[in-house]
Amino acid sequence: MRRRRSTELTLTIAGPVILLLVWEVLSRTETINPLFWPPPSSLWETTKTLFLEKDLLGDIGISLYRIIAGFLVGTVPGIALGLVMGLFWPMRIFLMPLASAIYAVPKIAVLPLVIIMFGIGELSKIMIVAISIFFLVALNTMSGVLAIDTQFRDVARNLGASRWELFWTVALPGSLPAIFTGMRLSLGFALVVIVGTEFLAADKGIGFMIWQSYQTLRIQQMFVGLVITGIMGWALTLLLDLIEQVVVPWRTAGEEA
Amino acid sequence: MPSPYSMVNKRINTPTVMAYVKGTSQSSAHDSPPRQPALVKSRTVDSGARVVARNVGRRFTTASGSVDACVDIDLTVEPGSFCVVVGPSGCGKSTLLRMVAGLDHPTTGTLDVSRLDGRAPTNAMVFHGRTLFPWLTLQQNVAYGLKLSGMDRNARLARARELLGMVGLVDFQRAWPHQVSEGMRQRTSIARALAVNPDLLLMDEPFGALDEQIRYLLQEELLRIWERTGKTVIFVTHSIDEALILADKIVVMSAHPGTIREVIDVPFPRPRFMTEVRSDPAFADLFTTAWSILREEVETGGAFTEGTA
Ligand SMILES: Nc1ncnc2c1ncn2[C@@H]1O[C@H](COP(=O)(O)OP(=O)(O)OP(=O)(O)O)[C@@H](O)[C@H]1O
Ligand SMILES: [Mg+2]
């Protein structure tokens, strides 16, 4: 078990480290143009300056806030709708065409509409994230409900479960794994959408910082933004994994009890 | 990890189990006052449920046409009796059991489950296959029915622990179903059905996934439980041997569409012990009778002839 742990840790770290090393070497030897691909070691100074003088922490904070708030605003009703669609077939048939159509629209394309509806303030940023993940979560939740073996419903009914108890003790726990799959996908979407939105319509946030660096040709600063975006995505996924371990312990539990 | 066999052995032979046996009646009388006292005190045959089927049939209508799962089932299962159903695969045994459980309804005929004292009978089914809730631990699975009936948390977990002890799984109460073997899961689902102390126990090949030794132990355990509680049991199996050890009556069903081909009375005295039943000269005769009928049905059903053609 312990050996497995340390192997896991090594493998987790190895990927990024190898990538950075290769990049460093290629850049230092000028195999790739260091003007556009500055060596990672040179980013360190830039990062420090950004934190101390340019309020990078503020940019990260506001982006995280938009992602998490938008995530919650989109996920909670998404799960509710997914459960309803999974449990009641008329609702499913009624909403399915709509859901699949809207689901397929590139999310950033609705940004102008969202700005018209919610203004140019924080609300529109939260809403664009919420809207772009809503159907993803709903459809995943629905398929989770539909995938529950009907035998479980029979067992519950046989032991006297009411409809309400069926919902709480079978439909909800049974669809939790699929709900988490939907949420994990949503997290990626949320990050993409928020960076895109901040490119186009924000005066703060990590996306704004990347775009501004590009426009002023501060390549090093831009790379810092990219790396931080990656770290944010990784950290949020890790957080979701931790939550999953608490909420869905039966799926994450290993062989040992 | 201790071997499951040794655990079951230990459980069944130690006084703990006997204490549990006595304890059940007391604690169940205590747990749900409205129903229990009569059942526990008298422990006579009038406490189980009676099942009466008259011309029961079930037709499934699917996109590709309709299928009769069973037709013209006429059957009376007396309160407190042990009825075993055998028959070729696909003859409608599970369908019949589901209808008795109220999970499905006959398309023809009438099916009546009642208690002599007029109160509503309760039933619990041990389903075929993997039916433990993956999201509950073994203990929570066993306590599930008790939770629905409103028993408080500590009481139901304690009772679940007792029942898991009885099937030799007390050390695994906190495990998730995916962490234990198929046989352990099956034993847990038996405990889950017994936990609610039903008037009518419906068992769909409950020992099918178990190895022979555990099977023997649980057959005897089931006989003991049945002898002291007066439940009515309807038990589906593919094993004639198992049927003879457990049953008062063996219902042999015909090949698809299933109907009752023969009812065989099994006269061995109660309380029954497997070794005694097996060494009884009548055992071989009954086995031969049952097998010759069943053989015909299995052959008509095509399973055998097609397989070798
Ligand atoms: N929900 C259903 N829809 C359509 N047909 C069904 C359904 N359930 C059962 N059947 C059909 O009814 C027949 C009897 O099925 P059932 O499961 O009751 O058989 P069984 O006697 O329990 O078989 P086995 O011994 O293999 O478990 C089969 O032909 C099956 O195809
Ligand atoms: Mg069956």
pLDDT higher than 80, residue A154: yes
Percent of chain B with pLDDT over 90: 63
The token pair at B101 is 């459980």
Q: What's the ipTM?
A: 0.82
Strands B65-77 and B200-204: unpaired
Q: Give the architecture-level CATH label for domain B9-23+42-300.
A: 3-Layer(aba) Sandwich (3.40)
Q: Does A95 share its domain with A216?
A: yes
Task: Give the chain A residue nearest B200 (alpha carbons).
Answer: A158
Q: Is residue A40 part of a domain?
A: no
- Backbone region of residue A205 per phi and psi (left: phi > 0; alpha: psi in -120 to 50; beta: other values): left
What's at A252, amino acid-wise?
T
Using CB atoms, pick whichever of A152, A249, A255 lies closest to residue B131.
Answer: A152
Whether residue A174 and residue B135 make contact (CB cut-off 8 A), yes or no, is yes
Distance, CA of B141 to CA of A79 (rounded, Å): 26
**A155 located within any domain:** yes
User: Would you say residue A51 lies in a domain?
Assistant: yes
Domain count, chain A: 2
The pLDDT assigned to A40 comes to 87
Map out the domains of chain B as residue ranges: 9-23+42-300
The string of pLDDT tens digits covering residues A197-217 is: 999 888 899 999 999 999 998
Long-range pairs, B5-11, Cβ under 8 A, ≥24: B5/B213, B5/B214, B7/B168, B7/B169, B7/B171, B8/B167, B8/B168, B8/B214, B8/B217, B9/B217, B10/B168, B11/B165, B11/B166, B11/B167, B11/B168, B11/B170
Residue matched to tokens 């008259």:
B54
Please tell me the distance from the alpha carbon of residue B144 to that of residue A161, in angstroms, as a whole number: 10
* pLDDT mean across residues, chain A: 91
Q: What percent of chain A has pLDDT over 90?
A: 67
Q: Quick one: A15 and A76 in the same domain?
A: no
- Ligand 2 mean position, distance from CA B252 (Å): 14
Same domain, A20 and A67: no
B37: pLDDT strictly greater than 80: no
**What angle separates helix A172-200 from helix A111-118, to the nearest 10 degrees?**
90
- Three-state DSSP class for A202? coil
* Residue B160: pLDDT over 90: yes
Do A67 and A166 sit in the same domain of this protein? Answer: yes
- Nearest ligand 1 atom to the CA of B88 is 25
Distance from CA of B174 to the nearest CA of A (A): 7
Q: Which two tokens stand for residue A55?
A: 């309020």
Whole-number pLDDT of residue B208:
86
User: Does A161 score more than 70 pLDDT?
Assistant: yes
The distance between the two most distant Cα atoms of chain A, rounded to a whole number of Å, is 73
User: Which ligand places an atom closest to the C-alpha of B70?
Assistant: 1
Atom number in ligand 1 closest to CA B96: 18
Let me know whether A103 and A12 are in one domain: no
Its domain, for residue A92, covers: 46-256
| Protein residue whose Cα sits closest to atom 31 of ligand 1 | B90
